[in-house]
Amino acid sequence: MNNLLKKIVLRVICAFIFFGLFATSGKAELVDRIVAIVNDDIISLSELNEMFEPYAENIKSRGLSSEEERAALFKVREDILSHLIDQKLTDQETKRFGISVKEKEIDKTIERIKESNFYTDEDLRKGLARQNLTMEEYRERIREQILRSKLVNMEIRSRIVITKEDIKSYYDSHSEIYQGEKKYHLRHILLEIPSLADETGKLEIKEKADAMLEKIKTGEPFENMARKYSQSSAAAKGGDLGMFGHDVLSPQLRETLKGMKAGEVTPVLDTDLGYQIFLVQEIRDARAKSLEEASPEIQEKLYKEIVDKKFQSWLESLRKRSHIKIIR
């Protein structure tokens, strides 16, 4: 028996001893079981269920037929198990290469996320609570994402070549981005959606947001509405969020603000924080970027696009050279 097989057998035996503990009520009850072996690591049923349950709740709330619901649950469960296997594989590779993440890197990543979504620290914690996540658990997820990003960079970067011609072609075909970046001074109104709200509850909150939007359109000052009704930490300031560059806005908001003018309000937006309405208080046009100035940014964008394409093929290659066994 080779060393790898010995390791796997030992892990499985230990796991079954641990997971097979009996309840003390006098009734034998299996606490957990193994659903997959990935090289010398295991994936437990509880690990799978922890990630699967939120998706299952969402599917069950859609009002699907029993057959459609069963098919959807099966598909999502299989996808999540596949994702967990990929996580185990990449985690093993980061350990093999000795890749690590500093706390400051996690801090910076979280600050970027907060900035692009207009989250205060309080907003972020509320959003995590709705997903039953603590800040410590969230930081661990961010750590894993950064680790995997570093691994991908190490494994794939050497195979990627971006030429000056590639950069110029991108610059010419995205002139609307580099002919002068817009900056937006924004205010917002936030109506939070309770984590346990059903579709009827969500609809009621949406109707309140729609009614507020109508009042604003008929002349009610946005600041007054924000102070009176918004559940954002910026409510006391009339919903004032400050000035933001185009690049730091969330994709949803960037798309919504296209073509808007100062003084206009957005439709009611369904966001991760809840229903939001934004007022474009001011728009400033920054000077255009030359090809030379834009080149580092374009190179990074092209690099990320290529990495995304190559990542899946790298994972498939990693799977082929690994020992993976799914236990039904």
- pLDDT of residue 16 exceeding 50: no
CA 150/CA 316 separation, integer angstroms: 18
Q: What is the pLDDT of residue 131?
A: 77
Question: Are the C-beta atoms of 116 and 250 separated by less than 8 Å?
Answer: yes
What band does 327 get if pLDDT is binned at 50, 70 and 90? very high
Tell me if 198 is assigned to some domain.
yes
Whether pTM exceeds 0.95 = no
Stretch 291-314: mean pLDDT, rounded?
83
171 domain residue, yes or no: no
Is residue 12, in this structure, part of any structural domain at all? no
Query: Which strands, in side-by-side order, build the sheet including 274-285?
Result: 240-245, 182-192, 274-285, 269-270
Residue 71: pLDDT band (50, 70, 90) is: very high
Beta strands 41-44 and 34-38, pairing class: antiparallel
Rounded to the nearest integer, the mean pLDDT of the chain is 84
Residue 128 scores a pLDDT above 90: no
Q: What is the DSSP letter of 33?
A: -
- What is the domain-level CATH number for residue 266? 3.10.50.40
In the block, residue with structure tokens 């936030």? 190
196 in a domain, yes or no? yes
Q: Is residue 189 part of a domain?
A: yes
Beta bridge partners of 277: 189
Beta bridge partners of 38: 41, 324
Strand order in the sheet with 34-38: 41-44, 34-38, 324-326
In-domain check, residue 176? no
Task: Tell whether the model's pLDDT for residue 295 goes beyond 70.
Answer: yes
Whether residue 115 is contained in a domain is answered as no
Q: What whole-number distance in Å separates Cα of residue 314 and Cα of residue 304?
A: 15
Question: Which domain does 234 fall in, by range?
Answer: 181-285
**pLDDT interval class at 320 (50, 70, 90):** very high
Cβ count near 68 (within 10 Å): 12
Residue tagged 């959807």 (tokens):
72
Q: Quote the tokens at residue 242.
A: 């400050």
Q: Please, which pLDDT band fits residue 102 given cuts at 50, 70 and 90? A: very high
Query: Which H or E run includes 76?
Result: helix 66-97
Confidence of residue 189 (pLDDT cuts 50, 70, 90): very high
Q: How many domains does the chain have?
A: 1
Mean pLDDT within 220-245:
93
Asked if residue 135 belongs to a domain, the reply is: no
pLDDT of residue 62: 84
CA separation for the pair 165, 77 (Å, rounded): 44
